[in-house]
A and B are shown apart, each in its own frame.
Chain A
Amino acid sequence: MEKQKYNKYKTSDFILDEDFQNWVKGSDPKNEKKWSIWLDSNPALQPKVEKARQILLALNFKEEIIDSKTLDDEWQKLRNSKDDRSLSLQTIKNKPKTINWSVRIAAAIAFIVISSLVVLKFTMHGSNRKEVTMVHKKAALGQKITLTLADGTNIKLNAGSHISYPDKFSSDKREVILTGEAFFKVTPNADAPFIVRTGNISTTVLGTSFNINAYPEKDQVQVAVVEGKVKVNTHDPKKNIDAEVYLTHDELASVPKNESEILVTPFEASELLAWKDGILHFGRSDFKEVVKHLERWYGVKFTIRKNKKIDPEWRFSGKFENKSLEYILDVFSYPERFSFRIDGSKVTIN
């Protein structure tokens, strides 16, 4: 490490400096001591260094994990596309090489997996160096999936939702991260609270059943309690205001994003929880909500013609069980609000 040059560094210079990166990520134990000695003797630079460290650690982007099945499917699709004849000819010709190549592919994939693990380990740098592997589960559009976690907790994930959790929970808490909507039936454990993180909002319980709706496009997060008791606690550091609300079963907390106010109302389980029983429910929804909901439920994509006027005053209500998309759009388009065309997974509104 060349100490001289660092005296003139800006925060951004530190972030892009390879030595600095290795130090922050803990991949360079040799230089660890040099850095702390240097920092101690240059206290004026500490704020810059600390900022650089925080930015570097934060620059870790959300990643969509492509599982091996999807990868294989996409590869097969490519092979089966129009040029498949020359592909299969090549396969036969190269057959003796196949084993070697499979080993190589495996090595390449193993390399990717290992490097992701290494990256994951780096990001754990700090107080906790324990290796935690995160499991990611996703319910595709048009699908719902049910999961049972290691502690017996049952989770039903609604279409287009994503959840991640460590492969092993720590002994004092059980944390999961949710995007979208899910119904939880949490196995009681007084020693390890179950925490669901949805953006800035956390829901902590010891053992109960509840539904969380935190789809990204919604302007609020809703927590509906089916069983048990819940304490809602908000803290707004800007105004330094604390607020507390107690919820029991059949109560719904609505928390607008970016606000510390909580609204508690009763809720109608047959509407709010219908999704987990396969019932599609609309209660005075506007057109945008209807489209978003149908896209998720049926795994389709809507396109609206540029010149088509959508009345913002339109409201749609209804309850549908095992009905086709065509049936629902037929009902909703009456009386001549719009016409539509369904073409595989593409829906066009005219």
Chain B
Amino acid sequence: MKLDSSKVPSDSELWEALKRGEIKAYEVIFKTQYQFLINYGLKLNSDKEEVKDCLQILFSKIWERRSNLGECNSIRNYLLASARRLILKRINDRSEFVELDQKKLRFHIELSVESRMIQDQTLKTKIASLQKGIEKLPERQKEALYLKFYGDQSFADIAHAMNISTRASYKLIYKALDNLSKQLNTGSKDLPSLLTIFF
């Protein structure tokens, strides 16, 4: 069965086409998932060239092994879990070298103030405070939170990617949100100083 070109294919249709060796299915998968994967990868390792290399390796392996691939209902989730394994493995393999800024393995996320820069001044100060709260979260809570709100992944998907139980992924996200909620209570005490320069 060839892919029906009159409608947008489902994940499992795309995947089956990839397994049959349809190059265009491969291209669609690559081009639609790349942005998400590179953003996620950069949270695990801030070295962009290295993350790009990892994605090249990941995608070329998928093509090589296409005929042996199993079933897949969520391509994103499959790629997410594989990319995570590969990136972390390569960080560990390299540890004979010390990175210059001595950072331990971290999941680094930053809240964006850009898209709402014009309005809502209170929200803006809250974001600064929440950013501090996020930095204080344990790494796994950060990762789960990111996958939930950036990746829009289900609790089960997050569990699969992070290799934990679904129950544990619920717990991580609820704990993270409870912590942020506490941060908003105390956050007003350590507002950052504001500075403006006028002509």
Q: Which one of B18-26, B76-84, B85-93, B156-164 is at the interface?
A: B18-26
Which residues 256-283 of A have a CB within 8 angstroms of B?
Answer: 258-260, 262
Residue pair B63, A83 in contact (C-beta under 8 Å):
yes
Once bound together, how far apart are the Cα atoms of A253 and B198, in whole Å? 13
Q: Are B5 and A303 in contact (CB under 8 A)?
A: no
Question: Which of A27-35, A193-201, A318-326, A327-335 touches B?
Answer: A193-201
The docked-state distance in angstroms from the alpha carbon of A52 to that of B184 is: 10
Q: Does A235 contact B (CB under 8 A)?
A: yes
Within 31-63 of B, Cβ neighbours of A (below 8 Å) are at 31-32, 34-35, 38-39, 42, 47, 49, 52, 55-56, 59-60, 63
Given A124-B116, A128-B118, residue A108 in contact with residue B31 (CB < 8 A): yes
- Bound Cα distance from A90 to B24, whole angstroms: 9
Interface SS of chain A: mixed
Q: Are B30 and A78 in contact (CB under 8 A)?
A: yes
Those of B135-188 within 8 Å (CB) of chain A: 145-146, 149-150, 173-174, 177-178, 180-181, 184
Known: A59-B111, A231-B199. A177 touches B117 (CB 8 A): yes
Query: Nearest chain B CB to A34's CB is how many angstroms away?
Result: 24
B177 to A304, Cβ gap below 8 A? no
Residues from chain B with Cβ under 8 Å of A103 in the complex = 5
Q: A55-B177, A101-B24, A304-B98 are in contact. Are A71 and B34 (CB under 8 A)?
A: yes
- A78 and B59 contacting across the interface, CB-CB below 8 Å: yes
- Judge whether B195 and A60 touch: CB under 8 Å: no
**In-complex Cβ contact of A232 among B2, B30, B63, B195 (8 A):** B195
Report B-chain residues with C-beta under 8 Å of the C-beta of A177: 113-114, 117
B68 in the interface, Cβ–Cβ < 8 Å?
no
A277-330 interface with B by 8 A CB criterion: 288, 291-292, 301-306
Contact indicator B5/A100 (Cβ below 8 Å): yes
| Distance from A214 Cβ to chain B, minimum over Cβ atoms (Å) | 12
- Cβ contacts A1-28/B at 8 Å (1 or 0 each): 0000000001110011000000000000
Set A75, A123, A255: member contacting B116, Cβ < 8 A:
A123
Q: Which residues of B contact A262 (CB under 8 A)?
A: 195
A62 within 8 A of B: yes
A108, chain B: closest CB distance, angstroms:
5
Among B9, B96, B177, the one with the most A-chain Cβ atoms within 10 Å of its Cβ is B177
In-complex Cβ contact of A230 among B109, B130, B192, B197 (8 A): B197
Q: Is the CB of B32 within 8 A of A108?
A: yes
CB distance from A286 to the nearest CB of B (A): 12
Distance in Å: Cβ of B157 to nearest Cβ of chain A: 15
Residues of A within 8 Å of B52, CB to CB, are 74
Report chain A residues within 8 Å CB of B1.
Answer: none
Chain B positions 85-144 with a Cβ under 8 Å from a chain A Cβ? 96-101, 109-120, 123, 126-128, 130
Known contacts A59-B111, A105-B31, A233 near B197 by CB under 8 Å:
yes
Kindly provide the distance from the CB of A133 to the nearest chain B CB, expressed in whole angstroms.
Answer: 10
Q: Are B60 and A78 in contact (CB under 8 A)?
A: yes
From residue A15, how far is it (CB to closest CB) to chain B in Å?
Answer: 5
Contact B5 A66 (CB under 8 A): no
Interface size class of A (residues with CB under 8 A): 35 or more
Summarize B's interface: helix, strand, loop or mixed. helix
| Contact (A61, B149) CB under 8 Å given A51-B181, A233-B196, A260-B195 | yes
The reply to whether the CB of B71 lies closer than 8 angstroms to some CB of chain A is no
Complex Cα distance A303/B94, Å? 11
Q: Is A36 an interface residue (CB 8 A)?
A: no
Chain A residue with the shortest CB-CB distance to B151:
A61
Verify if A202 is at the interface (C-beta below 8 Å from B): yes
Which partner residue on chain A sits nearest B150 by CB separation? A61
C-alpha gap A229/B198 in the complex (Å): 8
Q: Do B49 and A233 have beta carbons less than 8 Å apart?
A: no
B197 pairs with A77, CB closer than 8 A: no
B20 to chain A, nearest CB (A): 10
Q: Are the C-beta atoms of B197 and A200 separated by less than 8 Å?
A: no
The residues of B that contact A64 with a CB separation of less than 8 Å are 38-39, 42
- Residue A149 interfacial (CB < 8 Å): no
* Complex interface residues of chain A between 51 and 101 (CB less than 8 A to chain B): 51-52, 54-55, 57-66, 71, 74-75, 77-78, 81-83, 86-87, 90-91, 94, 97-98, 100-101
- Stretch of A37-45, A150-158, A204-212 with 4 or more beta carbons under 8 angstroms from chain B: A204-212
Residues in A with CB closer than 8 Å to B173 are: 16
Chain B residues within 8 Å of A301, by CB: 47, 49
B186 shortest CB reach to chain A, Å: 12
CB-defined contacts of B39 to chain A, threshold 8 Å: 63-64
Complex Cα–Cα for A126 and B177 (A): 23
Contact residues in B for A147 (Cβ distance below 8 Å): none
Flag if B195 contacts A109 (CB, 8 Å): no
Question: Given A74-B34, A197-B117, A203-B197, A104 and B112 touching (CB < 8 A)?
Answer: no
Q: List 10 A-B contacts (CB under 8 A).
A: A16-B174, A60-B115, A83-B60, A87-B23, A202-B194, A203-B196, A231-B199, A234-B196, A237-B191, A247-B197
User: Which 4 residue pairs across A and B have the least CB separation, nearest first?
Assistant: A100-B5, A12-B177, A101-B24, A231-B198
